[in-house]
Amino acid sequence: MKLSAALLLAPLVLLASAAPNANPATAEEAVKEKIAAISVREAAPVQLHARAPVTGTVNANNVRYRRCARTSCEAIGQYHNGQRITITCRVRGESINGWDWWDKMSNGYYISDYYVSWTGGVPDIC
């Protein structure tokens, strides 16, 4: 049985439309966009064998990344506004300004998702 190209591409179009704006005006707007993107993805989940990491852009200066998803964990370094990162997945951790998601980066460390704008999709949950 052959499937049409449109049917095969529909999940990818859905994921692309769920991606938040790369340059929100404020961190609060970025969080609102993420909530909307997560809602779209959960309403129509896409089963994929392997998902590519999601790219993110840090939207504040001197944002520390840490060994775990809490500010009590050791800070390893910091990123600056506009710096791009690779997110492998997201986890729940300490709440930062009411947002408790943290992004696990490709380097194995965590950064508060409150300070990151996603580009290219919604990160999986770890």
Output the tens digit of pLDDT for each of the chain's 126 residues.
Answer: 333 333 333 343 334 434 444 455 677 777 777 777 776 555 555 544 346 789 999 999 999 999 999 999 999 999 999 999 999 999 999 999 999 999 999 999 999 999 999 987 889 999
Cα separation, 35 vs 45, whole angstroms? 15
Tell whether pTM > 0.85: no
Q: Which of 94, 51, 52, 124 is nearest to 111 (CA)?
A: 94
Q: What is the CA radius of gyration of the chain?
A: 15
Asked if 57 and 117 touch (Cβ cutoff 8 Å), the reply is yes
Q: Which of 42, 114, 111, 106 is nearest to 77 (CA)?
A: 111
Alpha carbon distance 110, 11 (integer Å): 28
